[in-house]
Structure 1
């Protein structure tokens, strides 16, 4: 049975990714200890922390052996189906893997080692996903839960988010909240970007998310007006709020500023248009909800301006069969401006 999903970053940025650029082995033990401490706080038993340590070690080893450029490890705590988890993404822009099926076999190696890397990672993980292209690189996604996760529930998530602070900043000025109810086939989400970056942008984004969490209703423009009134003492945000109800097969949304959105399908792409303004400073009284048909097979992508606007999902054949977090990681690796906070939300149709 598909489980409820809640993704969020705010009120301390607990679900913003921590990023490590992997250049050498000098601080790998520090990375493992930091992830282990987070897992312990989520209720991981020692045995599962041990499994997590092996997974992280193998991912880091693979990045150093095979990643030529853009070698990064992203990780964050996650709540899925009421269970605490650690999500890890190993990203590189190296030569890629020509035969992923063979590379996942225990004992296979291209470097003369014992060859237990990818096979061991998959075996020890509760969820494992891999996407690789020769010449572009490889992305590995792993989730390990605090408690044993039933095999029947180890499936692709309906949505995923990558959110990373600007290099050198301790907090992220972007924020997001996504709630998905699989029983009702309903999705509710907000993506915000506080002006600039750093602590003041972070405070503005959190203030907007607090209003989103407190207010219900289906009127997205009204919600943005409520946020506008509540955060006037902050530096302000740009924002896009949306809901989807299964019985309507439509996405209701309203955006102010430059949070970008697209609905991608086989027949083409629909762009989510936003109104000019800054929530908390100046918005038009005429903002209103807009609608787009969201049928099965269409992928929703929302992102802050930390991602270049001219990204092309066509670079990644068959990627829509993979987990949304992995899809977001492809865009993050290849289209990240590198000069601002970045948030990328990817959601499959809530069917």
Structure 2
């Protein structure tokens, strides 16, 4: 599955019809019935027109995939507008800050299989929308102990992303891989694809051994940087190790710690000795990993109560504030439940 999102900057009303038509055609290609595709049109029209009317523009991120039970279009709508004081109030039909009927946000929520929103006065708003080909599909709760979401976008103008991630689950725990191929474009994409394939096939349970396994299998590629985070349910530990500039933090409530990777390039030169960091694994922790397509000087505690929200909302909020726009960018957020 391609994890990357396509991105549109919405700064002019003339773009709305074009974007609505593109996502409508995508829905039909996925097998959406005409009625469901028309409902998707309503969602896109409301999101994009609201960006123009209330926020002087913003970003619309979308991707399509099959999740095992249905075909899905996922959307993030991000803006740096004035924000919303009372999110619960604007969700009700009939409420409007303008002279319209005030049915926009309520319609988006009704027509979506999943709708989430976070807003803060003076900061802006992020919205997450999941549209399945069947309107009555419910979003299942995680059964793995890990609720995780990622936002990954290409370097502007590139068709392929040089970042990649994958999560493996077992009865003993789970393993998270996040990698960034050197540079961007097709060669970086090839490097990270080879690394993900090696990670999937690796039977090792120590992150150092996993990194060395990946290193041996990507030597003919451009190379990459990557971090592995492994949870052992029985030992109740995180085991974290990385090579190159992947930023990794774990939050325990308001407190957080950043884990420093080793210098090197996987596939070319890695340290002879690498050791992982062992951290207690606890409920309600939040792990945040991202490539250098995002700035590192961010503080989750500046976003009021956002840690209570879903991983996707947290990821998109950090993306909104910190994306550089000069490289591929990926942010992965997991919550222990």
Report the counterpart of residue 3 of structure 1 in structure 2.
Answer: none
| Alignment counterpart, residue 39 of structure 1, candidates 7, 20, 27 | 27
Instruction: Indicate conservation of the 8 Å contact 1:252/1:290, yes or no.
Output: yes
| Alignment counterpart, residue 288 of structure 1, candidates 252, 266, 275 | 275
Cα distance in 2 for residues equivalent to 1:305 and 1:144: 30
| Alignment counterpart, residue 154 of structure 2, candidates 157, 165, 184 | 165
Deviation, 1:260, is: 0.7
Distance 1:306 1:128, change over 3 A: same
Instruction: Indicate conservation of the 8 Å contact 1:127/1:154, yes or no.
Output: no
Distance 1:346 1:43, change over 3 A: same
Cα distance in 2 for residues equivalent to 1:335 and 1:152: 29
Distance 1:36 1:229, change over 3 A: same
Aligned residues: 335
Instruction: Indicate conservation of the 8 Å contact 2:112/2:135, yes or no.
Output: no
Q: Which has the higher contact order (CA 8 A, sep 6+)?
A: 1
Instruction: Indicate conservation of the 8 Å contact 2:76/2:126, yes or no.
Output: yes
Instruction: Indicate conservation of the 8 Å contact 1:68/1:95, yes or no.
Output: no
Distance 1:155 1:26, change over 3 A: farther
Structure 2 residue runs of 5 or longer lacking an equivalent are none
The question of 1:52 aligning with 2:40 is answered: yes
Give the stretch that moved more between structures: 110-119 or 207-216.
Answer: 207-216
Deviation, 1:243, is: 2.0
Distance 1:89 1:274, change over 3 A: same
The question of 1:132 aligning with 2:126 is answered: no
Report the counterpart of residue 293 of structure 2 in structure 1.
Answer: 306
Instruction: Indicate conservation of the 8 Å contact 1:126/1:154, yes or no.
Output: no
Structure 1 residue runs of 5 or longer lacking an equivalent are 1-7, 9-13
Distance 1:148 1:63, change over 3 A: same
Which secondary structure state, in structure 2, belongs to the residue aligned with residue 153 of structure 1? coil
Report the counterpart of residue 5 of structure 1 in structure 2.
Answer: none
Distance 1:273 1:317, change over 3 A: same
Cα distance in 2 for residues equivalent to 1:214 and 1:47: 42
Instruction: Indicate conservation of the 8 Å contact 2:114/2:139, yes or no.
Output: no
* TM-score calculated relative to the size of structure 2: 0.92
Which secondary structure state, in structure 2, belongs to the residue aligned with residue 193 of structure 1? strand
Cα distance in 1 for residues equivalent to 2:210 and 2:66: 25
Give the stretch that moved more between structures: 227-236 or 77-86.
Answer: 77-86
Give the stretch that moved more between structures: 250-259 or 46-55.
Answer: 46-55
| Alignment counterpart, residue 61 of structure 1, candidates 17, 37, 49 | 49
Distance 1:247 1:77, change over 3 A: farther
Deviation, 1:266, is: 2.4
Which secondary structure state, in structure 1, belongs to the residue aligned with residue 81 of structure 2? coil
Deviation, 1:180, is: 4.9
| Alignment counterpart, residue 306 of structure 2, candidates 297, 303, 319 | 319
Report the counterpart of residue 219 of structure 1 in structure 2.
Answer: 206
| Alignment counterpart, residue 272 of structure 1, candidates 259, 267, 273 | 259
Which secondary structure state, in structure 2, belongs to the residue aligned with residue 300 of structure 1? strand
Instruction: Indicate conservation of the 8 Å contact 1:127/1:155, yes or no.
Output: no
Report the counterpart of residue 89 of structure 2 in structure 1.
Answer: 102
- Cα root mean square deviation, aligned: 2.1
Which secondary structure state, in structure 2, belongs to the residue aligned with residue 121 of structure 1? helix
Cα distance in 2 for residues equivalent to 1:22 and 1:96: 17
Deviation, 1:150, is: 4.6
Deviations 1:26-68 (A, max 9, x none): 2323322332333334333333222212111111111111113
* TM-score calculated relative to the size of structure 1: 0.89
Which secondary structure state, in structure 2, belongs to the residue aligned with residue 240 of structure 1? strand
Instruction: Indicate conservation of the 8 Å contact 2:232/2:238, yes or no.
Output: yes
Cα distance in 1 for residues equivalent to 2:300 and 2:27: 33
Give the stretch that moved more between structures: 117-126 or 287-296.
Answer: 287-296
Aligned counterparts, 1:84-233, within 5 A: 84-151=71-138, 153=140, 158-180=147-169, 184=171, 186-233=173-220
Deviation, 1:154, is: 7.0
